[in-house]
């Protein structure tokens, strides 16, 4: 059985809505995979007053502010947020 694959447009060829829909789909899948692997969502906010501070939010709801060592990437919990 031969399957013909529809050629996907390049991201720059998509309309704004098509681009947003495709990127949203990728993001939803990435967040689902991270949750399955119990990996945190990592982001920065106003608490990250230094370049090496990050927020880690785990699937179980635990949220921590971490400091990452720029020499060896070791992480240290600075504050438990929830």
User: What is the value of pTM for the model shown?
Assistant: 0.73
Per domain, the residue ranges of the chain are 39-82
How many residues are there in the chain? Answer: 82
pLDDT at 10: 87
Tens digits of per-residue pLDDT, 21-80? 999 999 999 999 999 999 999 999 999 999 999 999 999 999 999 999 999 999 999 999
DSSP annotation of 13 reads G
The answer to whether the CB of 56 falls within 8 A of the CB of 73 is no
């Amino acid at each position: 059985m031969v399957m013909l694959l529809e050629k996907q447009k390049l991201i720059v060829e998509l309309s704004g809505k098509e681009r947003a829909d495709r990127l949203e789909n990728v993001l939803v899948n990435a967040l689902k995979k991270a949750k399955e692997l119990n990996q945190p969502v990592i982001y920065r906010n106003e608490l990250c007053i230094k370049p090496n501070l990050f927020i880690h939010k785990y699937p179980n709801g635990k949220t921590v502010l971490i400091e990452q060592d720029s020499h060896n990437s070791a992480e240290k919990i600075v504050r438990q947020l929830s």
